[in-house]
Amino acid sequence: MKRRALYLACGIPAAVVVFLFLTLFFTPNDAVKGVLVRAADNAGYSLNFSGFGKSFPLGFKSRELEVASAKGSLIRLRDARVHLELLPLLIGKLRVSYDAKVGAAGELAGEVNLGKDHGWSVQCKGVRLEEIPFFATVAGASVKGELSVNGKTVTPKGYPEGNLQLEVRGAELAGVKIGEMPLPDARYKQIRGALGIEYGRMALKSFTLEGDDIYVRLKGDSVLAVPVGNSPLNLVLEMMPKPAFLDRQKFVFLLLMKYQTSPGAFSVPIHGTLAHPAI
């Protein structure tokens, strides 16, 4: 009896793996690619593949992958791979891992948990912001610096919970706007951010931009919506420029004059949505 139970415990997961392998093996690449393209299209994005195909044992790969919106290219990936993880599957957990290269030296990796407490994780390092087309094609800004990100969420009670940390070294921001309002061009030695997600609410624990001539802090929160781009913003951007910096960018600060709270200090409210922020 015990031996029979053992056979069942081992045989059922193995049969599931074999079934998935055979299904993947006999499904044409174009059919799989079509499903992915339609799924992205339903979400408002487009996918462009080069060198798309299957990878052993249960996964897909693409030599080049571009994600774009109606405004243009958002991100380009190289050697992108997505795999169904076998060991979690054997104990009844459905988990997908992914990894890719971004630009010349950037690396992106993470997991997506499709089980009961579904969620995701992401890690990236060495990503040059100037190699991400989103900033130029969508935001119309010139952005430079090296980005690192580490984040994870789970959904234990129907609401996402988690955190996200980011850091940018040697940042240069130019042409950045919130709605139609320009922000000052500046160089920052370091940008650090920590974001917390709890009960469907996203809150900035800290977000600071440290430059030689200006210090910037962003604070506030947002209630997450579906899609995420529709999440309403309740943020405040605080800027403390030194007199010399303020004088060099006099025109921008004249436009922001009504948000001046004291000499050398500005507090700018940001509303709208995540996809379309506005002052």
Residue for token digits 């989103």?
A: 134
- The predicted model gives 110-133 an average pLDDT of 91
pLDDT in tens, 123-133: 999 999 999 99
Q: What is the pLDDT of residue 87?
A: 80
Is the Cβ–Cβ distance between 33 and 52 less than 8 Å?
yes
Per DSSP, what are the bridge partners of residue 30? none
> Containing H/E element for 87?
helix 86-90
Is pLDDT at 235 greater than 90 in this prediction? yes
Residue 62: CB partners within 8 Å, gap ≥ 6? 49, 50, 51, 52, 53, 77, 80
Q: Of 272, 203, 209, 197, give the one whose Cα is nearest residue 237.
A: 209
Q: Which amino acid is at 186?
A: A
Q: What is the mean pLDDT of the chain?
A: 85
Residue type, 192: R
The phi, psi pair for 47, rounded to 5°, reads -115, 135
Who has greater pLDDT, 251 or 22?
A: 251
HEC profile of 27-73: CCHHHHHHHHHHHHHHCCCEEEEEEEEEECCCEEEEEEEEEEECCEE
CA distance 46 to 40: 6
Instruction: Name the residue ranges covered by the structural domains of the chain.
Output: 139-279
At residue 86, the pLDDT reads 79
pLDDT-based confidence at residue 24 (cuts at 50, 70, 90): low
Give residue 149's pLDDT band: very low, low, confident or very high (50, 70, 90). very high
Over residues 11-29, mean pLDDT: 52
Per-residue confidence band for 28, with pLDDT thresholds at 50, 70 and 90: confident
Q: Is 79 helix (H, G, I), strand (E, B) or coil?
A: strand
d(CA 254, CA 217): 20
| pLDDT band (50, 70, 90) for residue 23 | low
Q: Which residue has the higher pLDDT, 188 or 279?
A: 188
Tell me the C-alpha distance between 25 and 21, whole Å: 6
Structure tokens at 167: 């850091």
Residues of the chain with pLDDT > 70: what percent?
90
- Is 263 or 16 the better-scoring residue by pLDDT? 263
pLDDT band at 27 (very low <50, low <70, confident <90, very high): low
pLDDT at position 15 = 55
Q: Is the pLDDT of residue 12 over 80?
A: no
Model confidence band, residue 262 (pLDDT cutoffs 50, 70, 90)? very high
What's the rounded Cα separation, in Å, for the pair 257 and 251? 10
pLDDT at 21 over 50: no
Q: How far apart are CA 16 and CA 226, in angstroms?
A: 33
pLDDT at residue 7, as a whole number? 40
- Using an 8 Å Cβ cutoff, are 203 and 218 in contact? no
Decide if 41 contacts 33 (C-beta within 8 A).
no
| Per-residue pLDDT reduced to its tens digit, 36-93 | 888 888 877 888 888 888 887 778 899 999 998 888 888 999 999 998 887 887 777 8
pLDDT confidence of residue 31 = 78
The count of C-alpha atoms lying within 13 angstroms of the C-alpha of 257, restricted to the half-sphere facing its C-beta, is 5
